[in-house]
Structure 1
C-alpha cells in the first residue's frame, strides 16, 4: 500500500539530509503541516536543535492579506519556529527529493483563537469555556474555518490535502500541564462534557425541540454520579442514551451532526474550488458521529460522498473498529488511509507495523499513514523501514 509520513516544516528546514531519510524510509509521499496547533516537539535528528516550541496555532506560510482583510477572525503567521514561508521551503526540498507533497491542515483546534475571541469557544453545561475548541456551529467560526481550509490546503505544488479537526472538538485535549486525570471519563461522559451551550448551540437545541436550560441541567445531573464515583459512565452511544435519555440524546446529536456535516461540505467545497481537478481531499475521521477531536465523528456513508477518502486512527487495534464502517461505502477510487502511530514513546508499536498494515488491508485500507517521521527515534524509524521493505503477503 502507498504510505505517507507526517512531518513538520521544522523537521526539514536546516537539515539537508531530512528529505533523503524520508525516501530511504520507503515512503513516496509526505503529509506536511501547513496550518497547525500549538505544540512542543522533539527534532531528534536535526543538526542544530532538539526541541521546537510552537507557541500558538498558526499557518506555516504567509497568509494572504487580501483574503483576510477586514475579517475579525484571521490566522496568525507562525513565530520563529516556522518563520516566513516555512511550509513552502520544506515542500520544495521534499519535492526535489522526488516526494509527493500533500498538505496537513488542522482546523477546529486553536487555543489562540479562543484566547483572542472567547465568544467563539465551546461552552459546556457548567458554563466553562474550552478555548482550544472553537464552536463549529457559529457562523463566524464556520466562515473562518472554510476560508482557512481553502488557503492552507491549496499550497503551491501540493497534490492533495488532509483536513484534521474538521468537525467538533470537545473536552479531550492535551493542554499545557494537564490536570484532568483525577476522574476517568468514558466516551459517553466525554460527549456530555463536550456538548456546547453557546448562544448559537442553545438556539440549535431549541430548533430540535429541547429547552437548552433544561438540557444543561440534565447534563449536570447525569454527570453527578460520575464525579461522585471517580469516573467512567460507559462507552458507546447506548451509554449516552442511558445518561441523558434516548430522545434528548438524539436531538443533541441531530443538531451537532448537521453543524459538522455542513462545515465539512463547505470546507471540502472551498478546497475543490481553489484547487486543480486532480487535487485529493481527505478528512481525519471516526465512524461514530458523536465523537469529537482531531478525528471528527462522521457518518461514513455521507462523508464518502463529500471527500475523496478518510484518514483513520488505527493504532492499538483501532483498525478493527474504524475501517469496516467506511469500507462498506467505499468506491473503487475511495482512499481509506490507516493511520498508525510509529513513535514508541507515544503509544505506537512500529515493530508490529507490517502485521498491522496487512490486517488493515484485509479490512479495506488502501493506504498507510505514519505518525510521525519527525518525532520518531532512530530505532522506531528502522522498524518502519523494515516493515515497508517487506513484500506484501
Structure 2
C-alpha cells in the first residue's frame, strides 16, 4: 500500500538527515508543500531552528512572471522561512533519497489576499468579512485559483499533486488567537455563519429564487437563539430546521454548483499543464456543504473529475464510505487515501495507527497519508516506523 508523509520545505532544507530519516519511516512518497497558508510550525529535529513562522500565504518557489503579468490577484513570495526555490531544493533532496515527490497545494485559504483585496473575501449575513476565506464564486478569484493550481502543482520532477481547500472556506478556521468557541454553533450554525453575501453570491442566490437581503435577515433571525445558547446540531436536518427546508435547499444548490464547477476548472487547468500520467488528488469531505481544508464534494462527481481523494480519518474512517460506494458504482481505479494525523500533540493517535489503518482498509482505503513527518516527535515517528514495517 502506497504511503506518503506530508512535509514542508523548511523541514528538509538545511537538515542533511531529513531525507534519509523520512525514507527510513517506510514511506515511498512525500507530499511536499509548494503553496501554503500562514502558519507557525515546530521543527523538532532541525539542526538550525525549532520554530518556523510563515507570516502569510505564499508560494514556496519563484513564480513564472509571464503568467502573472498584469494580474491584480497573484501569489505572494515567501519570506525568509522559504527563500528562493525552497520547494525545488527540498524536492531534489528527497528524490535523491529515493522518494517520489508530489506537490501539496493550498488554494482557497489566504489571509494576506483578504487583507490586501478585501472585496475577494466571504462576507457573512452580518456583514463581517472573513479575510482568510476567498469567495470561490467570484470570477477573478476562480481564475486566480486555476492559475495558481496549474503553476504550484506542476513543479519540476513532481509525479502528482494534492489540492487542499479547493472549495468553500467558511467560519471554522484557526485564525490567529481564535476566540469564537464560546458559543457552540454546531454543524448547522457553522453552515449559516459560512454563507457568503458578497455581490457575486447575491446574484447566485437570485438565480435560485432568493433575495439576498431577505436571506441574510433570515439567517440572522435563525441564528439569534443559537447565540443565546440553543443547540444547532443535526447536520443538514438542523440547517433545514433553522432556515426552512426550501430556503436551505436553494442556498445549497447555489453553493454546491459553485464548488463543483471550480473543482472541474482547477483540475482541468492542472491537467493541461501537467505531463501524461500526472496524478491529481483532492483533499475532500463527502458532505458537500462542509467548508474547509477538506473541501465538501459530491463523491461521485469528484471521482469523475480527479484521480482520487485524500480523506481525513483521524477521528474515524467513516468519511471513506461514501467515496468507496462511489468507486463501487463506477469510479473504479480511483485513489482513496486515508489521512491520519500522527502527531500526538495535535490530536493524533500513533499508538492506534495499526488498528486505524486496518479499519480504513476494510472500508476501502487504497493508500495512506501521514500528517505530518516534520511536526511529529521522535517517539511518534518510531511508532509510525513500527506500523509501516509490519504493513510491509
CA distance in 1, matches of 2:24, 2:216: 54
Q: Which residue of 2 aligns with 1:157?
A: 157
Residues 22-57 of structure 1 deviation map (CA, whole Å, 9 limit, x = unaligned): 111010100000000000000000011000000000
Q: Secondary structure at the match of 2:305?
A: coil
Q: Secondary structure at the match of 1:352?
A: helix
Q: Which residue of 1 aligns with 2:85?
A: 85
Residues 243-264 of structure 1 deviation map (CA, whole Å, 9 limit, x = unaligned): 1111011100110011111110
Q: Secondary structure at the match of 1:315?
A: coil
Deviation of 1:316 after TM superposition, in Å, equals 1.8
CA distance in 1, matches of 2:83, 2:391: 41
Residues 48-68 of structure 1 deviation map (CA, whole Å, 9 limit, x = unaligned): 100000000000000110000
Deviation of 1:221 after TM superposition, in Å, equals 0.7
Deviation of 1:283 after TM superposition, in Å, equals 0.3
Deviation of 1:301 after TM superposition, in Å, equals 0.6
Q: Which residue of 2 aligns with 1:253?
A: 252
Deviation of 1:235 after TM superposition, in Å, equals 3.1
2:370 aligned with 1:370: yes
Residues 131-186 of structure 1 deviation map (CA, whole Å, 9 limit, x = unaligned): 00000000000000000000000000000000000000000111111111111110
Q: Which residue of 2 aligns with 1:98?
A: 98
Residues 176-217 of structure 1 deviation map (CA, whole Å, 9 limit, x = unaligned): 111111111101100000000000000100010001111101
CA distance in 1, matches of 2:332, 2:264: 21
2:311 aligned with 1:326: no
2:213 aligned with 1:216: no
User: Would you say how many aligned residue pairs link Structure 1 and Structure 2?
Assistant: 389
CA distance in 1, matches of 2:181, 2:391: 43
The within-5 A match list for 1:31-50 is 31-50=31-50
Q: Which residue of 1 aligns with 2:285?
A: 286
CA distance in 2, matches of 1:75, 1:176: 21
2:66 aligned with 1:69: no
Q: Secondary structure at the match of 2:146?
A: helix
CA distance in 2, matches of 1:332, 1:358: 21
Deviation of 1:232 after TM superposition, in Å, equals 3.7
Q: Secondary structure at the match of 1:142?
A: helix
Q: Secondary structure at the match of 1:76?
A: coil
- Name the stretch that deviates more: 153-162 or 324-333: 324-333
Residues 217-253 of structure 1 deviation map (CA, whole Å, 9 limit, x = unaligned): 1100110011111x64113111111111110111001
CA distance in 1, matches of 2:140, 2:332: 37
TM-score by length of 1: 0.98
CA distance in 2, matches of 1:50, 1:180: 29
Deviation of 1:333 after TM superposition, in Å, equals 1.7
Q: CA RMSD in A?
A: 0.8
Q: Which residue of 2 aligns with 1:298?
A: 297
